[in-house]
Structure 1
Amino acid sequence: MEQFGDDWKKSLQLPPKDTRVRTSDVTSTKGNEFEDYCLKRELLMGIFEMGWEKPSPIQEESIPIALSGRDILARAKNGTGKSGAYLIPMLERIDLKKDYIQAIVMVPTRELALQVSQISIQISKHLGGVKVMATTGGTNLRDDIMRLDETVHVVIATPGRILDLIKKGVAKVDRVQMMVMDEADKLLSQDFVVLIEDIISFLGKGRQILLYSATFPISVQKFMAKHLHKPYEINLMEELTLKGITQYYAYVTERQKVHCLNTLFSRLQINQSIIFCNSTQRVELLAKKITQLGYSCFYIHAKMMQEYRNRVFHDFRNGLCRNLVCTDLFTRGIDIQAVNVVINFDFPKNAETYLHRIGRSGRFGHLGLAINLITSEDRFNLKSIEDQLVTDIKPIPGSIDKSLYVAEFHATNPNCGALELLNW
């Protein structure tokens, strides 16, 4: 049904407008519109129906370059529209007349694979038959083999599983035009890099590679020199931490941590929170304690069965529970808009982990709070992470202004939002 002029926009099923305050991480754009990129109208319909009104900075930088076929090395914070930055040009370039795999997105975790495939399916729903498949370890290999017997245009995968399918001759990737690596620093860490190199050896010569990462360790630079051809470099990370996240620490002994957490729960206006521990055992113990204190709580860690992890993730995302206790398994790419408070019950060992953990709140430029419980052993770590990230983690004040982390709260009344927090 061809519609002319701007009439097609009137028939879109737009989600409710998100009126929350957003930071310059996603608003300091050049003022481009999605229509400026000569995208297919059907793709634009999907983009607008996702509630994406205008491109974020990483999208403005990536989309035109990716459409031109050039390799990209992009450094951008989590939660600033990275998936859209590569999915939009990728879906635009899929040729539905060709029934083979044309693009691969590599991600380090199953959760992220499911999330990215969900977004691709949503934004391509008007394109008339783009076939997207997610494939990850821990699921039935036979189902994937059957699925690849039919047409698949886009594969979103974790490295081990896609390599398995390639080597079995089931996933034919020699005509793939575009390979994206999301969370590239993780994909090029020791766990995965051999698999990634192997996968690339099966791709055709003319392939385009897009790398997205919040941090760029040496592994990424080595890989880039070897496999990317004159990549266009995008760096939107003058400062590393997200602008909308206010960071505090509370100085406690190990024995005071649970009491301190209880105080935070009673005083803060938590929409949803993620609480990080440094081991699976501590995750389970803490989840039990929180439940005993009378708060709703889920937990998730790597030693749980995949099926159970998926269910917890799904239920938490759907708001069935307010608090989630987890290990670092859950730090990357996980996008739950409702999370406005992240608590490091155990302080992380390095800056990279810290950055990914606190990036779970304040998604897409919204406001969030990160609170760190610091014991005397952690104080050197705290200092070193502050220095590396050139960020300021302040002592927790007697009252925290709600306008720093509560979306619906507009600071029109100066007397709102004081909370006496430090009466432990």
Structure 2
Amino acid sequence: MATARTANPTSVMGLNKPANGQLKGQPKPANLQSIPSAAAQQPAGPQKGSNFSLFCTSQDVTSTKGNEFEDYCLKRELLMGIFEMGWEKPSPVQEESIPIALSGRDILARAKNGTGKSGAYLIPLLERIDLKKDHIQAIVMVPTRELALQMSQISIQLSKHLGGVKVMATTGGTNLRDDIMRLDETVHVIIATPGRILDLVKKGVAKVDKTQMMVMDEADKLLSQDFVILIEEIISFLPKDRQILLYSATFPVSVQKFMAKHLKKPYEINLMEELTLKGITQYYAYVTERQKVHCLNTLFSRLQINQSIIFCNSTQRVELLAKKITQLGYSCFYIHAKMMQEYRNRVFHDFRNGLCRNLVCTDLFTRGIDIQAVNVVINFDFPKSAETYLHRIGRSGRFGHLGLAINLITSEDRFNLKGIEEQLVTDIKPIPSSIDKSLYVAEFHSVDPDDDGGDGEAKQKELGAA
């Protein structure tokens, strides 16, 4: 995985499918025609030796009250971790959430993906950890393993100067014995998927009777039919005076019912009325099923892509499309729920570190995954619901960076397209003959390939390949 391309294109071309989701191909010239129903754009790929820096931001992270992190009387050591993360000032959801969470009040927060929700709850959570107590003081519930690993990484980075905050991630699909041994030692914060933490609680290994705070990230998913029974059971083991914080971009009826049952006079934060899709430009290309791969090839050659995520509606189509992309000569990873966990972890880690430009996936990857380099999302298969659409395109435009969402629409999708536009009160326009780069890419600058410890050359080759 040191390089993003293979030396011999004929030897791999995706014909022998690897189990680890990492397909690589050799770039080759293509005789491109125009995108169906849209005129061709001029090629605008980055040059070798250049890298992108996405500086432009949208109002969902810039329209703040002007507060500083120092205003919340946080520990100096926690402030050091915050600033080392590169978080200079709180975003709107952090401004609303941090002081209320520090007061101990329940919160129901609705904000767009990528606007700082994780910091909105992790900062007050870590501030309230008492190192003199050796029991579990906070639980963060998330719906996927990838999100659990991501949140634990952020927590560890934020708390590294706090002098001993112990953070543990536990998810299904990993060794239960390792978790049991880990809980023999002190753990202050557990970040978990519902099934695994409930198993540990029932076994008496994870003692949560003194846990003062429970956070539910992507609460709409956690309170869906897949998880809600588990969540209810977990709450039954918590003390009655616990604090519950709910965060999500969408709040269906299930969340309202849960709030009425378990939250005590929650403070409600709603930053979504005008900010749902800010910073993300949305287009559709009207195609037949047989034209989709050709259309995707055209997009790759015309767009200035930093990294892209391409969504399909089934695991089988994910693997087939990843093979096709490789055959077209572009490096490509894929990820879906049926892959072994160790391979999913490797793909996620390598894609996040920029070892590949394109990732094909199912909706596994729509929940809270934060990869700021992603500036283009393509719905190869159009989603059925507005909620899924919102979470998918939210993978671009992270923390106010500009993003581009392109939807490949067949005749069967046209009613879904109209319905999603109406539900989200948004306008998905036909793809134009030329897409203004300023809508989804900021200025780019040259990078010294030796600055990153030796991986720079490989990354620059990858960035210059499409």
The answer, yes or no, to whether TM exceeds 0.5 is yes
Structure 2 residues not aligned, in runs of 5+: 1-57, 451-466
1:231-266 C-alpha deviation (Å, 9 max, x unpaired):
000000013632110000000011100000000000
CA-CA distance at 1:307 after TM superposition: 1.0
Q: Give distance in 2, aligned partners of 1:411 and 1:134.
A: 37
1-side partners of 2:316 and 2:146: how far apart? 21
Write the deviation string for residues 56-109 of structure 1: whole angstroms up to 9, x where unpaired: 000000000000000000001110000000000000000000000000000000
- Report how far residue 306 of structure 1 moved: 1.1
Work out whether residues 362 and 368 of structure 1, in 8 Å CA contact, stay in contact via their aligned partners in 2.
Answer: yes
The alpha carbon displacement at 1:414 in A equals 30
Contact 1:245 1:368 in 2 (8 A): yes
Cα distance change of structure 1 residues 378 and 126 upon mapping to structure 2, 3 Å threshold: same
8 Å CA contact 1:273, 1:341 repeated in 2: yes
Runs of 4+ in 1 over 4 A off after TM superposition: 409-415
CA deviation map 1:341-363 (0-9, x unaligned): 00000100010000000000010
Q: Is the 8 A contact 2:308 2:376 kept in 1?
A: yes
Matched, 1:276 2:311: yes
Asked whether the equivalents of residues 136 and 188 of structure 2 are also in contact (C-alpha less than 8 Å), the reply is yes
Separation in structure 2 between the aligned mates of residue 98 and residue 165 of structure 1, nearest angstrom: 20
Q: Percent identity?
A: 94
Change in 2 beyond 3 A, CA 1:146/1:399: same
Q: Who is 1:17 aligned against?
A: none
1:91 lines up with 2:126 in the alignment: yes
Distance 1:91 1:195 in 2: 25
Q: CA deviation at 1:410?
A: 11
Asked if the contact 2:105/2:267 (under 8 Å) is kept, the reply is yes
Contact 2:60-2:275 at 8 Å conserved across structures: no
**What residue number does 2:335 align with?**
300
Q: 1:167 to 1:320 in 2, by over 3 A?
A: same
CA distance in 2 between counterparts of 1:413 and 1:358 reads: 32
Is 1:143 matched up with 2:159?
no
Match of 2:85 in 1: 50
TM-score, normalisation: structure 1: 0.91
Compute the TM-score of the two structures, normalised by the length of structure 2. Answer: 0.83
Structure 1 pair 128/249, CA: closer, same or farther in 2 (3 Å)?
Answer: same
SS of 1:382's equivalent in the other structure is: helix
Answer yes or no: is the 8 Å Cα contact 2:136–2:210 preserved in 1. yes
* Alpha-carbon distance, 1:302 to partner: 1.1
Distance 1:112 1:205, change over 3 A: same
Q: Assess if the C-alpha contact under 8 Å between 1:117 and 1:134 holds in 2.
A: yes
Q: 1:14-66 CA distances to partner (integer Å, 9 max, x unpaired)?
A: xxxxxxxxx10001000000000000000000000100000000000000000
In the alignment, what sits opposite 1:287? Answer: 322
For CA contacts below 8 A with separation 6 or more, give which structure has more relative contact order: 2
Contact 1:240 1:389 survives alignment (8 Å): no
1:321-380: CA deviation from partner (whole Å, max 9, x where unpaired)? 000001111111011010000000010001000000000001000001000000011001
Tell me the alpha carbon deviations over residues 252-289 of structure 1, each in whole angstroms, 9 at most, x when there is no partner.
01110000000000000000000001111111111100
Distance 2:297 2:150 in 1: 32
Equivalent residues of 1:113, 1:134 under 8 A apart:
yes
Aligned partners of 1:189 and 1:219 also within 8 Å: yes
Q: Is the 8 A contact 1:239 1:389 kept in 2?
A: no
Instruction: State how far apart, in whole Å, the 1-side matches of 2:142 and 2:423 are.
Output: 26
In 2, Cα distance between equivalents of 1:412 and 1:166: 49
Aligned length: 393
Distance of 1:324 and 1:363 partners within structure 2: 16
Tell me, yes or no, if the aligned pair for 2:96 and 2:269 is still in contact at 8 Å: yes
Q: Distance in 2 between matches of 1:108 and 1:265?
A: 32
